[in-house]
Chains A and B, each alone.
Chain A
Amino acid sequence: MPAVTAPSRASRGASVMPDTPGWARWANDHRKWLFAAPAMAFVAALIIFPLAWTAYLSLTDSSGSVRAESEFIGFRNYLDVLSDTTRFWPAVGRTAAFTGVALFFEVVLGMAIALLLWRPFRGEKWVRVAILLPLVATPVAVGMMWRLIFDPNIGMANQVLGWVGIGPQPWLAGQHTALPTTIFIDIWQWTPMVVLILLAGLTSLSNEPQEAAMIDGASAWQRFRHVTLPLLMPTVIVAVLLRGIDALKTFDILYATKGRGGGSFHEVETLNVYAYGLSFDYNEYGLSSTVLILFFLIIIGLMWALTARRKKEAGR
């Protein structure tokens, strides 16, 4: 971007910059696009064009090497993927379960913790620090950390269970316990995010409706259910939206804890992990692009529904 020098102090007070050079005036007149265009060009080059290419690849039988000849096969990939009940639909199910369960606990726990932190108290600062740490920690490292804690033989988790008389669990190593365990890790890392967002929302609420309800003799639960929650609903939806998008795309902790393909039985293979594997482990570019386009449509659909809901809530 050309460096645009402001007119010198000497020209201050002159009517409308009479002595500025022509290019500076042009830059000022066109500053809207001069400012926005580089970022938008970057986005267009790195996102829109590749996305269009992915959409095209999904209509071909491209595999092996992207450079290899590929044939246009129309919607055959889509038919194949949508009728695939061994990998695709289970991956859809796991993505839905992972996102739904994680989101549910993150919002409920996040709301509870935010309400606890709402009114000032001594030591507040330390609690806030503790809340911030998991959420800035590198997700891959968090995955590894829990992998040690949940190790069936040497992990702390089974020892703690032992103290209270519960037998050892396979955790990440079990075919049926792996997905719930990764959901737990996601909840540990991201509930703090929901807490921060909801707390910002709570802090911005005015006190008057609360006080009015208190004077009317409403119980704490009634005040929450009928005063706080409705006022906070737009913020709750933002939290669900931001967290939901990221939860759908979860990759790092799944790869760190179970490796390629979501484990030997694909027990944590979500859509994102499946598409990654198709692209970079199996080099099935046509199929992976199809899965990605479908995944993308699902995300857009959910976002659209939630945004519409938020507009409705905010408009009330």
Chain B
Amino acid sequence: MKPRTGFQVFRAVALVFVVLALLLPLLWMVAASFKTNVDIYDSGKALVFTPTLTNYETVLQQANYVQFIINSLWVAFAATVLSLLLGVPAAYSMSRFNMRKSALVVLMARVIPGVSLLVPWYYVFSNLRMVGGFSVLILSHMFVSLPLIVYIMMGYFDGLPEELEEAAQVDGLSPIGAFRRITLPLSLPGIATAGILSFIFSWNNFMFALVLSGADTKTLPVAIFDFVGYASIDWGGLMAATTVVTLPIMLIALFVQKYIVSGLTAGATKG
């Protein structure tokens, strides 16, 4: 075997470079959110500056961001819970009864460009006077969450041995009882993975809220644009707003890293 030290030095240098390339822009965004606009325009203050909370005050007080945070939380939470209620049993059936064609129909939703559904949705929901309300936002976000949950949970149920349920049925549980008492508790890690990812994707979603939300139901990704004017941009406020959107998600990601990775890579290694 060749000596490994050369490779190890190269690897360390390369990985430091990768980590810096990924993290510096994010740090730059957070730093700018603590600067006055004068300091943002002054290249001499790039690294050394007096931090200020003015931008956060603007964002949270003047720009009504507290409301948008609550909107985003509510839409992402409701879409995730409803999608889990619909998606977990469906994924179970599709896995156990090998309904691959039905699964394909649900998974198509991951492929279709969202714009192609928005015009019909907008027409139907504006006739029902639902555009601008939370229900239509939640429904549209379920379009993102449900296929994701079905996809992740099908893979998870595929990996759970059927023998456990059969044993429970021998012990007198009905098939649905076996699902409820044996399979569901065993699949909690999978449900957590699917739920977390569904929440993140819904929180990050922009296009549906752009078209379907109203002034009171705006979610954070849409509200960010309040800081982009025709003539000028309030960079400090904008960076505080983007930090408010991204930081909660990144914190969640740090704590549940393992789940996110397993969800994002679900199905990738199956032959």
Contacts and interface: CB of A to CB of B under 8 A. Distances in A.
A48 B143 CA distance: 12
Interface in A1-24: 1, 4, 6-7, 11-14, 17, 20, 24
B223 to A, nearest CB: 10
Contacts of B203: 138
B113 interface: yes
Nearest to B222: A140
A7 B177 CA distance: 7
Interface string B221-254: 1001000100001010011011001100110111
Taking residues whose C-beta sits less than 8 angstroms from the other chain, chain A's interface range is: 35 or more
A159 B43 contact: yes
B173 interface: yes
A226 B241 CA distance: 49
A54 B89 contact: no
Contacts of A33: 93
Contacts of A276: 115, 207
Contacts of B180: 4, 6
B75 interface: no
B135 interface: no
A265 B179 CA distance: 57
B85 A234 contact: no
Contacts of B260: 132, 136
B131 interface: no
Interface residues of B, number: 101
A197 B268 contact: yes
Interface in A240-261: 242, 245, 249, 251-252, 255-256
A43 B146 contact: yes
Nearest to A299: B111
Contact of B115 (A17, A239, A272): A272
A46 B117 contact: yes
A136 B250 contact: yes
B116 interface: yes
A36 interface: yes
Nearest to A132: B253
B191 interface: no
A140 B206 contact: yes
17 contacts: A4-B176, A6-B181, A13-B171, A31-B179, A36-B89, A46-B121, A128-B261, A130-B22, A136-B253, A141-B242, A154-B40, A197-B268, A201-B269, A251-B207, A280-B211, A292-B115, A295-B116
